[in-house]
Amino acid sequence: MGLMSPTIGRLQALERLYMQGYQDEVVDLTLRKLLERQVQKDATQLAELRADLVRFEERYSMTSADFFARYQAGQAGDDMDAFEWNVTYKMYSHLAEAVDALRLQLRE
């Protein structure tokens, strides 16, 4: 078993407590605020990544999704722009998924 971060250990301990019926309004509000703060921070980064993607899309007259499909198929070249666009698109996609997951938790 690999090393577990202290944060994961703390969250798991809290999860065990809550599964046993523990409730605390301060903990609930604190967790909600942490999620809200993370969503705000990530949304700012998403906007920056999206601006980078738009620059590539305008320069090459194609959507990032189309570029990514071509890149994955080996049809987009291997220059520095292609590499950067690929990495930026992956970062954007992964971060967007994370933000969606956090927002879903905030709706519950």
Single pTM value for the model: 0.83
pLDDT tens readout for residues 15-50: 999 999 999 999 999 999 999 999 999 999 999 999
- Number of compact structural domains in the chain: 1
In the predicted model, is pLDDT for residue 1 greater than 60? no
Structural domain containing residue 48: 24-107
Residue 16 lies in a domain: no
Alpha-carbon distance of 35 to 6, in angstroms, equals 18
CB atoms within 10 A of CB 28: 11
Residue 1 lies in a domain: no
**What secondary structure, in 3-state letters, does 49-100 show?**
HHHHHHHHHHHHCCCHHHHHHHHHCCCCCCCHHHHHHHHHHHHHHHHHHHHH
Residue 13 lies in a domain: no
Residue 5 lies in a domain: no
